[in-house]
Amino acid sequence: MNRRSGMLLHITSLPSPHGIGDLGEAAYKFVDFLAETRQCLWQVLPLNPTRTIYGNSPYSSYSAFAGNHLMISLDHLIQEEILLKSDLEGEITFPRDRVDYKTVTEYKEKVLRLAYKHIHHKLEKDFEFEKFCRENKYWIDDYTLFITLKEHFHGVAWSDWPDDLRYRKEEVIREWKEKLKDRILMEKVFQFLFFKQWFSLKKYCNSKNIQIIGDIPIYVTYDSADVWANPEIFKLDDTKKPMFVAGVPPDYFSATGQLWGNPVYNWDVLKETGYSWWLRRIEFNLKLFDIVRLDHFRGFVSYWEVPAGEKTAVNGRWVNTPVKDFLIYCIDIFRASHYCGRPGKKYPWK
């Protein structure tokens, strides 16, 4: 393989008049800059939604699949006549050297609600939107319900929701989907707009012979749609609380190790399901990016698990994973899909 060079720059670090870097004009200008300087790689951090409570880190998210709606370009929505210029009147003056996430979140969500208001009556006849929802049904239904319920319960963690919701009783889930259907639809629209803009930017990158490197964190956040919707693939107790959490042991840099707090995977269950959740996640990211980096790859071989409730990572232990089986399975599946795949072909995770 030839040696190549590029740059690491997350989307939120791009200049923008709207308080946070987005998928608008500055992103395209950055691609032009990469092309002019003969770079061929652009590396970004995870694109998932961030939360102020966790320092707005893209490695702590409500979803391992959803896109960060704060990155939606408002200017591009105006160009598409989804927003009006008047919708941005009275815009706040944002800091130029940093992102004020609290203010940006309040502002952009207010404006995006206006965008939804302008187009929601057209959605029933929007084939592109319907296709997006259908193809992403395996994650978007759970995510949009989750994020809507989070708002309804004023940010309370899902483990403290009423038991019927915490344990996802089917009839109760159906009732809440009906009760909150308009708000859920709005969240689906936000996701549709984000990914439409993202794939447009990716297409432009590729047209300039630039490949995008994405990042997949190995662990997910406990208070997320991923854990709420798939509790069986994590080591949780009967009340759906973590029995063990992730971290790293004491080393030269820290006498007490690092206690990350993420729930750890139940690899026995993952193996029984043909690693379907991980295969979906990898497949999804291979659509988003040209090259994928697996963050903390060492954790796919063996991981340090700490009993929940510990204050440090000292009292943990190493646990082996079925790494060879997992990787061979991944290679076989994706090789088959690459060389033998055809529209409509069914794979184990679909």
Bridge partners, 242 (sequence order): 236
Domains contained in the chain, CATH given:
1-224 (3.20.20.80), 230-279+298-350 (no CATH)
Encode pLDDT of 236-294 as tens digits: 999 999 999 999 999 999 999 999 999 999 999 999 999 999 999 999 999 999 999 99
Encode pLDDT of 99-116 as tens digits: 999 999 999 999 999 999
- Give which of 64, 62, 78 is closest to 193, Cα–Cα: 78
* 81 and 113 Cβ atoms separated by less than 8 Å: no
Cα angle 245-246-249, degrees, rounded to a multiple of 5: 120
What integer pLDDT is reported at residue 336 of this predicted model? 67
What integer pLDDT is reported at residue 333 of this predicted model? 76
Q: Which long-range contacts (CB under 8 A, 24 or more apart) does 343-347 make?
A: 347/279
Q: What residues contact residue 246 under an 8 Å CB cut-off, 6+ apart? A: 219, 260, 261, 262, 263, 264, 299, 303, 304, 305, 306
- Which amino acid is present at 89? E
Question: Looking at the predicted structure, is the pLDDT value of residue 342 above 80?
Answer: no
Three-class DSSP category at 36: helix
DSSP secondary structure code for residue 265 in this structure: B
Average pLDDT, rounded, for the chain = 93
Question: Looking at the predicted structure, is the pLDDT value of residue 344 above 50?
Answer: no
Question: Looking at the predicted structure, is the pLDDT value of residue 340 above 70?
Answer: no
What integer pLDDT is reported at residue 345 of this predicted model? 39
Rg (the chain; Cα; Å): 21
How many CB atoms sit inside 10 A of residue 233's CB? 22
Percent of the chain with pLDDT over 90: 86
Three-class DSSP category at 307: strand
**Dist. CA 123–CA 185, nearest whole Å:** 9
